Amino acid sequence: MKYRVLNILRQLAMMLLVIWTVVSHVTLLIELVPGTPAAVILGETATTEQIENFNKKHGLDRPAFFFSYSAEDGFAWNGIDNRYADYWGGLLRGDLGMSFRTDRPVREMIFERYPATIKLAIAAMLVAIGIAIPLGVLAGSNKNKFIDNAASFVALLGISLPTFVVGPFLVYIFAVNLGIFAPTGSANPEDIVLPAVTLGAALSAILTRMVRSSVIEELGEDYVRTARAKGLSERMVIYKHVLKNGLIPVVTILGLQLGVLLAGSIITEKIFNWQGLGLLLLEDGIGKRDYRLVQGCVLVISVTFIVANSLTDFVYRRLDPRIRLS
Q: Residue ranges of the domains in the chain?
A: 2-92, 106-325
**Rg of the Cα atoms in the chain:** 25
d(CA 174, CA 214): 34
Sign of CA dihedral 13, 19, 22, 28: negative
What is the pLDDT at residue 71? Answer: 67
CA neighbor of 265 nearest in space, from 288, 296, 297 = 297
Q: pTM score > 0.85 for this model? A: no
Model confidence at 85, pLDDT cuts 50, 70, 90, reads confident
pLDDT in tens, 216-254: 888 888 888 888 888 878 788 887 778 777 777 777 777
CATH superfamily of 106-325: MetI-like (1.10.3720.10)
> What are the CA-CA distances from residue 129 to residues 132, 156, 158, 243 (Å)?
5, 16, 14, 13
What separation, in Å, do the N-terminal and C-terminal C-alpha atoms of the chain show?
Answer: 14
pLDDT at 67 over 90: no
Residue 127: is its pLDDT beyond 60? yes
Left (φ > 0), alpha (ψ -120 to 50) or beta: where does 185 sit?
A: left
Q: Is the pLDDT of residue 103 over 90?
A: no
- pLDDT tens track for 277-311: 989 998 888 888 888 899 899 888 888 888 887 77
Taking alpha carbons only, the member of 109, 202, 192, 187 closest to residue 155 is 202
Helix (H, G, I), strand (E, B) or coil at 324: helix
Weakest mean pLDDT among 16-20, 111-115, 198-202 = 16-20
Count of CB atoms within 10 A of residue 153's CB?
A: 10
